Amino acid sequence: MDYKRANDIDFVINDFLENQTNEKFSELIEALIEQDVILINNELHGDLKKLTGDGVTPLVITDSEKKNYIPLFTGDKHIINDQVKTLGRLHYTFKELCNDSVVTSDYIEGYVLNPFTHGLKLPKPVIEIVNKYTKENK
C-alpha cells in the first residue's frame, strides 16, 4: 500500500474494492477502526425501533435482495442524496458502532459504507471480526 495515502480512507476503500484480497481486507479494517463516520438519525420514521443504546433511530436502506443495512458515511461529500442531506447527522468512530447493539438486530444485515459512492457492504460477520480485533487489542 502507498503509506502516504494510507490515512486517506477513500484511497483505502477504493484499493480494497479493486483488489479484494485478505491483505487489502486487513488494511481496510485497520483504517476503519478509528475512522470517524457519520450515522444518519432518521427521526422522521418513528415506526422504526430505536436501534442504538442512546436512542438513535438510524436511517436504514434496503438493497436489491430486500436486506436492510445501516448506511455510514466517511464524509459529507459521500452524502449526495438530497433527502438524506436534510436528516440529522451523528458522529461516531467505526469501532463505537461495531461495539453497539445495532448489528445484533434481526432486522439489520450490517452496515454499508458510503452507499451512494462506494456501496461497500459490511455484513455482521465483518462487524464480529472488528469486535474481536478491538477486544484483543485493548
Is pTM, for the whole model, over 0.75? yes
State whether residue 114 is helix, strand or coil: coil
Sequence spans of domains, the chain: 35-136
pLDDT score of 100:
61
* Residues in the chain where the model's pLDDT stays below 50: 1-4, 6, 46-49
CA atoms within 13 A on the CB side of 101: 9
pLDDT at 112: 94
pLDDT in tens, 72-84: 999 989 988 887 8
Euclidean distance between CA atoms 15 and 110, whole angstroms: 21
What backbone phi and psi angles, to 5 degrees, belong to 77? -65, -15
**Residues 26-41 pLDDT 10s:** 899 889 888 999 888 8
Cβ–Cβ under 8 Å, residues 62 and 68: yes
